[in-house]
Amino acid sequence: MKPYQILLSGITILPVIGVIILLVWRKATKIQAAIVGIVSESFALVIPLVLLSTLRKEGAIFFSVPWIPNMNISFSLELNWLALTFLLTEVLATLAAMIYSLGDQDGDKHSHYYYALLLLFSLGMSGTTLSNDVFLFYIFWELMLIASVLLILAWGHGELRFRVSLKYFIITHLGSLMVLVCLITLYVNFGTANLSELILHASTLPRNTQIFLTTFFLIGFCVKMAIFPLHIWLPDAHTVAPMPVTIILAAAMLAMGTFGVLRFPYSLFPLETIQPFAIWLMIAGLVSEVYGALMALAEQEIKRIIAYSSVSQMGYILFGLGTLTARGMQGAIMHVVYHAIVKAMLFMVVGIIITVTKERDIRNVGGLGGKLPILTACAAIGLLGISGMPPLGIFNSEWMIFAGGFDSGVSIALTVITLIGSLLTLVYALRFFGKIFFGDQQPAEIMEQSPRALLVPTVALTVFLVIEGLLPGPLLAWAAQGLSTVFGGVF
């Protein structure tokens, strides 16, 4: 085994060491726990960057050790361009959330458990993106769910958190079971759990089986993406979760559904199998986009407004995936990254608003514009960003998605409606911004300054968002290479 292959395993193993340290180090202060968490998580960021040059040469890096030999199951990882994009997005979102946690009151109690679970949550997602074995994939897929449920249960807000986490677990687990049925069907048919081998052979399955598996995969992953009407777990979970967890849920975990769609049905089966689903994916994307935006417009709870905006944004991504064109799907991958940055940043803004005003109802918050100028600027950039204003990132991805829609030839009308529907994003963004920062309703008490510990990561993400928007080249190249990985060079 070559050194870089062993290094790849570090992405999953080193955070585990961090988890063990945190579980053992019971007397760790919040700062100490955070340092262990952030350092452990940083390995998951640094290692892929170190492996970048090898990845350019090799196209993909593999690591594999036998796990359950008599069942042909191994601890097998693969870093490819698609995985890289999602992995870095997820790790950056987690790091941002961990840094934000330092200034947040969430996680003050039992900090070592809190950061250990954040690490496990991220490990679940890293493992999901890297798994090259379907058994291993499912283990990581569920780990991400279990860690997030525990975080909501233990550090969520209010007594409602017990019911919400149960709802979140059961609904997303139902989606996971659909995925599990597909994974085991593949495993049973080919006698191996190795994903690379399955990708080579899956197209030999009878067409009906391929259609069945694609349907189940898509429904299962759409639950994770929170596509209407499978989104019902999202608003509550996002609202009740502590803010750093909400950031990871929205910015990173939703992306895992997109990754699943690309990694499984799209990678496994030929385009002819996926083609009949295209129109339905686009319609589902459109409905989700409009429904999420309308709900964001109707909501009064500021965290729920941004939560529903995720339902809407995932709609764009699904629409892009449904176009089955290079541009549309590249746009979808780019949208995942841009959405992660914007959403993480917007939730940070919401967190600061709640901390500063102690209010969660948009009707009770107003006039922050003059008092908190930096926060106002960040919010303005974030909300313009999510509305798709150039030159901020989402403009680029939406452009690609809509271009893909027109290219697809499936339905021009559908693309036009989706384009028009995107105006709703602007409407709820303006309502949010106008009411909170320029509304008349002053909250009863208000802090004079945004807490610096919360503001710093927010500003950093804002700057990152602007840079990403202005320099979309590298991301576009990665998305193209990722797509090439999925379709074996067809696109």
Partner 1 sequence: MAGYFEIVLPIFILIGGAFAVFLLGRLFAFSNRVMSVLTAAVLAGTLVVLILHYQNIPHIINRPDVFYGLDDPGGIIYRPNAVGVFILIIGVIIGLLITLYSGEYLSRDPRYLVYYPLILLTLAGLLGMFTSNNLFNLFLLTELTTITASALVAFRFKSKPSIRAGFKYLIMSSLGTMTMMLGIYFVYRSTGDMQLVAPLATPDDLTRIGAACFLLGFSLKAGVVPLHTWVPDVYGHAPSAVSGLLAAVLSKSMLFIMPVVCLRLGMTRGELGTYLMIFANLNMLVGSVRMLRQQQLGRFLSFSTIAQTGYLMFGLGMGFYYGLEQAYGVGLFLFMIIAVMKCLAFLSAGMYEYYFGTQDIELLRGAGRQMPLAAFTFSIALAGLAGIPLLAGFNGKWLIFSTAILSGDVFALVCLAVFVLSTVIGLGGYLPMIVKQYQPAPGSEHLTPAGGQPIEVSTWMVVPTGLLSLMVIVIGVYPGPWVNLVSQVMQWMMVTL
Residues that bind partner 1 (CB under 8 A): 67-71, 135, 138-139, 142-143, 146, 153, 159, 162, 165-166, 169-170, 173-174, 177, 180-181, 184-185, 187-188
Q: Residue 315: name the closest of 198, 186, 222, 210 by CA.
A: 222
Residue 67 or 406: the one with the smaller Cβ distance to partner 1 is 67
Question: Is 66 or 391 the residue whose CB approaches partner 1 more closely?
Answer: 66
Match 């100490």 to its residue by tokens: 32
Comparing CB distances to partner 1, the nearer of 216 and 316 is: 216
Shortest separation between residue 307's beta carbon and partner 1, angstroms: 22
Identity of the residue, 224 or 339, whose beta carbon is nearer to partner 1 in the bound complex: 224
Nearer to partner 1, 121 or 402 (CB): 121
Q: How far apart are CA 95 and CA 131, in angstroms?
A: 21
Concatenated DSSP letters for 198-247?
Answer: HHHHGGGS-HHHHHHHHHHHHHHHHHHHT-TTTTTTHHHHHHHS-HHHHH
Instruction: Return the number of the residue (142 or 301) whose C-beta is nearest partner 1.
Output: 142
- Closest separation between CB of residue 237 and partner 1, Å? 14
3-class DSSP state of 59: coil
Residues ≥6 apart with Cβ < 8 Å to 271 = 324, 487, 490
Q: How do strand 73-79 and strand 61-68 relate by DSSP bridges?
A: antiparallel
* Least Cβ distance, residue 298 to partner 1 (angstroms): 30
Min separation Cβ 327 and partner 1, Å: 37
What is the SS3 assignment for 66? strand
Could you give the residue ranges of the DSSP H alpha helices within 104-133?
A: 111-130
**Nearest CB to partner 1, comparing residues 60 and 219:** 219
**How many CA within 13 A on the CB side of residue 143?**
23
CB of 159 to partner 1, least distance (A): 7
Entry field: residues in the chain: 491
Q: How far is the CB of 247 from partner 1 (least distance, A)?
A: 24
Nearest distance, CB of residue 371 and partner 1, angstroms:
38
296-408-220-152 Cα dihedral, nearest 10 degrees? -30
CA 219 to chain centre: 17
CB 108, min distance to partner 1, A = 18
Please say which residue, 58 or 142, places its beta carbon nearer to partner 1.
142
Please check whether residue 179 is in contact with residue 217, taking contact to mean a CB–CB distance below 8 angstroms.
Answer: yes
Structure tokens at 246: 């909400």
